[in-house]
């Protein structure tokens, strides 16, 4: 378990008790409903919900997988509710030698379930990290963005999004962007802290196309509401100047 001196980023696995009620919905049935979930950092980036092998998940819903080759000290199960089967959805940790800290716990692949809930609020992608924070701040700094010498955006009213552990992202009003160079993409992505993102490709006057280097959130989550409809550019794939200084 976590000690009072542990600080992120954690060495895996790091385990903490959660005070939230967590429910997992699959096949029209609540397959997990617990007031004692555990947050486990299997890597430094974000936690996963783990549960006690008993009584959190009825054995009747488990069918030992005949496909997976489990890691030593684990058993892989399919999750079965009526005619619905989620292959290799459940991993049980059984060995006190190989996985001493996780022995007696299990996890469900987040994407295998139909929905996850913390209390009565649905969560997406993965549990939020209690040590991560989002700050969206308006700025009057001058931001200019180019790709291969072609200007894509030029603004003195950006919003900077600061997310714990990640690089700063810049969100720019559409009116300060060369929208004639952007074409809609079919790509989408999801973030538990910001919501569902849509993307644009950039097509330069010479016909050169840069795929999915611009994104935006139509309906972001409450903590990121200020970026609604603003455009972010993939800094690693464009050239960015802030107050005349080229960003690295």
The full set of domain ranges for the chain reads 14-123, 134-246
Single out the residue of 187, 191, 190 nearest to residue 200, CA to CA: 187
What is the per-residue pLDDT for 7?
67
What's 14-123's CATH class? mainly beta
pLDDT (average), residues 70-74: 83
Equal CATH topology for 14-123 and 134-246: yes
What is the per-residue pLDDT for 145?
98
Annotation: CATH topology of 134-246: 2.170.150
Q: With 70 as the cut, is the pLDDT of residue 60 above it?
A: yes
pLDDT (average), residues 222-231: 96
Are 169 and 235 a contacting pair, CB within 8 Å? Answer: yes
Q: With 80 as the cut, is the pLDDT of residue 54 above it?
A: no
Q: What are the tens digits of pLDDT across the range 34-50? A: 999 999 999 888 999 99
Single out the residue of 191, 219, 34 nearest to residue 117, CA to CA: 34
Report how far residue 177's alpha carbon sits from residue 174's, in angstroms, rounded to the nearest whole number.
Answer: 5
What is the per-residue pLDDT for 4?
45
Q: What is the pTM of this model?
A: 0.85
The band of 56, judged by pLDDT with boundaries at 50, 70 and 90, is confident
Neighbour order of strands in the sheet with 143-147? 150-155, 143-147, 239-242, 245-246
Residue written as tokens 């979930």?
37
> Could you say which DSSP state residue 224 is in?
G
């Amino acid at each position: 378990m976590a000690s009072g001196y542990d600080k992120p980023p954690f060495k895996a696995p790091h385990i903490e008790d959660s005070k939230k009620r967590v429910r997992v919905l699959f096949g029209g049935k609540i397959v997990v409903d617990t007031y004692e979930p555990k947050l486990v950092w299997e890597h430094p980036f974000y936690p996963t919900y783990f549960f006690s092998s008993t009584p959190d998940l009825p054995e009747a819903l488990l069918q030992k997988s005949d496909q997976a080759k489990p890691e030593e000290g684990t058993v892989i199960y399919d999750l079965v509710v009526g005619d619905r089967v989620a292959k290799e959805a459940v991993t049980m940790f059984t060995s006190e030698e190989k996985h001493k800290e996780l022995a007696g716990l299990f996890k469900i692949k987040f994407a295998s379930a139909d929905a996850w809930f913390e209390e009565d609020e649905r969560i997406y992608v993965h549990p939020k990290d209690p040590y991560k924070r989002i700050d969206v701040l308006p700025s009057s700094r001058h931001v200019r963005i180019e790709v291969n010498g072609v200007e894509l955006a030029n603004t003195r009213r950006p919003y900077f999004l600061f997310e714990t552990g990640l690089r700063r992202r810049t969100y720019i009003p559409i009116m300060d962007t060369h929208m004639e160079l952007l074409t809609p993409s079919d790509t989408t992505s999801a973030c538990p802290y910001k919501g569902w993102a849509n993307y644009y490709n950039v097509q330069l006057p010479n016909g050169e196309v840069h795929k999915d280097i611009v994104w935006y959130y139509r309906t972001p989550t409450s903590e990121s509401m200020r970026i609604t409809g603003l455009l972010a550019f993939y800094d690693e794939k464009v050239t960015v100047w802030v107050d005349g200084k080229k960003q690295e």
